[in-house]
Amino acid sequence: MRELDIISQPARVLTQAEREHFFEQGYVVKTSVISEDWIDRLKAGVARLIDKSRNLTVSDGIFDLEEGHTADNPRLRRIALLDELDEVFWDFAKNSNLPDLAADLMGADVCFREALLNIKWKGGGQEVKWHQDIPFYPMTNYSIAQFLVCLDDVGIEQGPLMVIPKSHKGPLYDHYDEKDNWLGFIPDQKLVDASLENVVELTGPAGTVTVHHCRALHASRANLSQRSRPVLIIGYAAADNRPYVAPAYKSKFYDTVVRGGVARSVHLVDGDLRLPPDWSGGYTSIFDHQEKVNSGSLT
């Protein structure tokens, strides 16, 4: 659906001003919109999964381990495919008010794409470099976004998500280097005109949801604080938005309609976008790619 058609439908969770802010600025923060009961249930689910990770010694495509991970002192960067791992996450993605919030920004027909947890462990949880999301999963239009749910309070010292306002209206950046290696981030020299000085940090108490446009420039610093930053990420797309490539994470619930119905037509936008590598053979994580580039082991 087009932006004007989306915002002319009645709002469900966001105010009209918040919907307009998303389309104008490229992000929106809805404070404490997820109930305490849901947050408690989700955190119990996270604790169960962290327990499952204790005996792992290497990352396996679902559990992305940070250096130093042990059974007694687990340190995880990401857990993927949450919706298949524990039923609370699929229940949340389908039955909470989050898909209603998604419909406010995407129109009445909404599909589920993925459920991930970025933990950003206390005492050093890895930074995420500047990137846009759509180059990771080109689609026929831009109605796709990650909805970040703060499971604990997130302050600036924990490495919150940072966005550049209005950058979604600017260029699409290449996420490859000059030797055609996928980087998973935009090299600094390409960002000289990106107005990074306008950065906004998306903080909030537990239960806050932040959404950034799939073209918005965003990043997050390392978490040097003594409090971890578990952020649940649910990806949704408009039903009339179809992928050009295999998704990085394909669970059995991928593409399920969670609000409204299936689309009878596809919304196409014009433009050029370089395809990412073929993820159908397996994907690790944005943390893994960026770290490998940093350490020189990818090139």
Ligand X SMILES: O=C(O)CCC(=O)C(=O)O
Tell whether the torsion through CA atoms of 169, 234, 2 and 174 is positive or negative: positive
Nearest distance from residue 59's CB to ligand X, in Å?
A: 15
State which of residues 62, 286, 288, 291 lies at the interface with ligand X (CB under 6 A): 286
Give the HSE-up count for residue 285: Cα atoms under 13 Å, Cβ half-sphere: 24
Which of residues 231, 232, 234, 293 is near ligand X by CB under 6 A?
231
Check residue 161 for interaction with ligand X (CB under 6 A): yes
For tokens 């709002």, name the residue. Answer: 11
Size of the site for ligand X (CB under 6 A): 8
Alpha-carbon gap, residue 101 to 138, rounded angstroms: 23
Structure tokens at 84: 């298949």
Residue 75 interacts with ligand X (CB under 6 A)?
no
Among 25, 126, 167, 220, binds ligand X (CB under 6 A): 220
Does position 101 bind ligand X by CB under 6 A?
A: no
Does residue 183 interact with ligand X by CB under 6 A? Answer: no
Q: Which residue is nearest to ligand X (CB)?
A: 220
Helix (H) or strand (E) segment spanning residue 123: none
- Of 43, 46, 83, give the one whose Cα is nearest residue 234: 83
Read off the DSSP letter of residue 171: P
Q: How far apart are CA 234 and CA 114, in angstroms?
A: 6
Q: How far is the CB of 126 from ligand X (least distance, A)?
A: 9
Q: How long, in residues, is the chain?
A: 299
CA 241/CA 261 separation, integer angstroms: 13
Residue with smaller CB distance to ligand X, 184 or 207: 184
* Binding of residue 59 to ligand X (CB under 6 A): no
10 Å CB burial of residue 281 (0-12, 13-18, 19+) is exposed
CA 104 to CA 8: how far, in whole Å? 10
Q: Between 14 and 202, name the residue whose CB sits nearer to ligand X.
A: 202
218 lies in the binding site for ligand X (CB under 6 A): yes
Instruction: Determine if 128 is a binding residue for ligand X (CB under 6 A).
Output: yes
C-beta of 223: minimal distance to ligand X in Å?
Answer: 9
Q: How far is the CB of 285 from ligand X (least distance, A)?
A: 8
Q: Which is nearer to ligand X, 103 or 117 (CB)?
A: 117
Closest approach, Cβ 161 to ligand X, in A, equals 5
Query: Which of 59, 118, 210, 290 lies at the binding interface for ligand X (CB under 6 A)?
Result: 118
Nearer to ligand X, 6 or 150 (CB): 150
Asked if 113 interacts with ligand X (CB under 6 A), we say: no
Task: Give the residue among 278, 206, 287 at the shortest CA–CA distance from 245.
Answer: 278
Cα(78)–Cα(113) distance, integer angstroms: 17
DSSP code at position 72 = S
Catalog residues that contact ligand X under the rule CB under 6 A. 118, 120, 128, 161, 218, 220, 231, 286
